[in-house]
Amino acid sequence: MARAENKVKKEDRLFSLILALVSSREGLTKNEILKTVRGYSDIYAYSGNTALDKMFERDKEEIRSMGVIIDTLELPEEEGQTHNIRYSISRSNYDFPEGLSFTSDELTLLNVAAAAWREASLSSDSRHALTKIRSLGVSANDPLIGVAPQIRTNERAFEAVEEALENELILTFNYLKPGQSKPQHRTASPLAVLSWGGLWYVLAYDFDAEAERTFLLKRIVSHPKRIPQKTHPRPAENYAQRLRDELEELTRANIAEIECVEGSDAHLRLSARFGSANSSTLQFGYSDLELLADELAMYGSQLRVISPPALREAVRSRFIHIANMHVGVN
């Protein structure tokens, strides 16, 4: 494999490319870039340019992912002649809006917000965003009490889904539907990712169903794979907000009633969450019966489901299942 041997470090090359594209008024053709910009030019003469070409394509992507938009310019009479495409970065796209600033209190809060990703996929993205805010000169205050948030995701699936979300990709994966024992193979393009009530949901266009479907991230049990070369362009919309509205509507429509053992952990925690009833009977809405059954089962004999009957049965069957899997050893 032809590989560009390069002594110039990658950050040097990327930064040089950004500077060259910002400063050029009419834009630069790919050939001009490869011939003159540091990191490309020093290997231009000695190597076949296929590897260099590929490197340039990857670099463009990487620069875009840092928030720097590269414009392409093609003269009408030169349409189709890719070697004549001119690349440039406009200052109006690059520059942070004039007058937009952050206070110390705001940065203090954003430091906490960014820290939430520290163990998760978007940690470098949130760190980069903070670096940019700090470049505006603002410093954070010392918070009165430290806050250490930690977003939890099913990392393997989250990263693939998030990348597909950003690039409108189509994924295939195995999905284990709640209440079923065998996973199904699905083909879908994510529209939104939402964490709601402690669970991650993915709204996606499902190609088998030919309709939008909601998936639970944790029930994507295989490593999602993208379908090469294919994308699923979609109209701009606040899909995440729409998904949340739908879940909230479901929650209003489905009501569960449970009875807690007075003073138990279940009683304390569930009444802290669903508004304090002084009685041991609690009523609250839910969006998905199987998910609620999973959660209620954890409290064991501390509570009893009164209604609906299907929820009662779902919780009961979990106990039967656990009991059967743990037959005493004698």
Partner 1 sequence: MSVPQRLEASDRVTLLMSFVPYLIDQGPVSIDRLAQHFSITPAQVLELVLLLAMSGVPGDDGYYQHQDLFDINWDLLEEQQIVELWQHVAVEATPRFSAREAAALLAGLQYISGIVPDSEKVIVENLVRKISLGASAAPENLLISPAPVPVDLEIMRSAVSSGNSVQFNYQNAFGIQAQRLVDPLRLDLVGESWYLRAWCHDRDALRTFRLDRISELSVSDSPFVTRLNAEDLGDELFEVSETDLRVRFSIEESALPLISAYKPVVISSLSQDSLEIEVAFSSLSSVPIFVAHIPGSITVLNPPAAIEAVQLWAKQALASYNA
Pick out residues in 114-143 that bind partner 1 (CB under 8 A): 114-117, 119, 122, 124-137, 139
Instruction: Please say which residue, 74 or 304, places its beta carbon nearer to partner 1.
Output: 304
Which range binds partner 1 by CB under 8 A, 49-57, 59-67, 75-83, 280-288? 59-67
| Nearer residue to partner 1 within complex by CB, 82 or 180 | 180
Q: Does 274 bind partner 1 (CB under 8 A)?
A: no
* Nearer to partner 1 (CB atom), residue 80 or residue 301: 301
Q: Among residues 132 and 185, whose Cβ is nearest to partner 1?
A: 132
Per CB under 8 A, which of residues 189..218 are in contact with partner 1? 191-198, 203, 218
Number of shown-chain residues binding partner 1 (CB under 8 A): 124
Question: Among residues 37, 43, 169, 258, which is the contact residue for partner 1, using CB under 8 A?
Answer: 37
- Other CB atoms within 10 Å distance of the CB of residue 320: 9
Grouping H, G, I as helix, E, B as strand and the rest as coil, residue 187 is strand
Q: Which of residues 241-270 bind partner 1 (CB under 8 A)?
A: 241, 243-244, 263-265, 268-269
Cα 291 to Cα 218, 230, 280, 322: the distances in Å are 12, 33, 22, 17
Shortest CB 69 distance to partner 1, Å: 5
Residue 264 near residue 296, CB atoms below 8 Å:
no
Question: SS3 of 145, please?
Answer: coil
Encode 25-47: b = buried (16+ Cβ within 10 Å), e = exposed.
eebbbbeebbeebebbbebbeee
Q: In angstroms, rounded to a whole number, what is the distance separating the alpha carbons of residues 319 and 35?
A: 70
Residue 42 C-beta-side C-alpha neighbours within 13 Å: 10
Q: Verify binding: residue 52, partner 1, rule CB under 8 A.
A: no
Is residue 225 near partner 1 by the rule CB under 8 A?
A: no
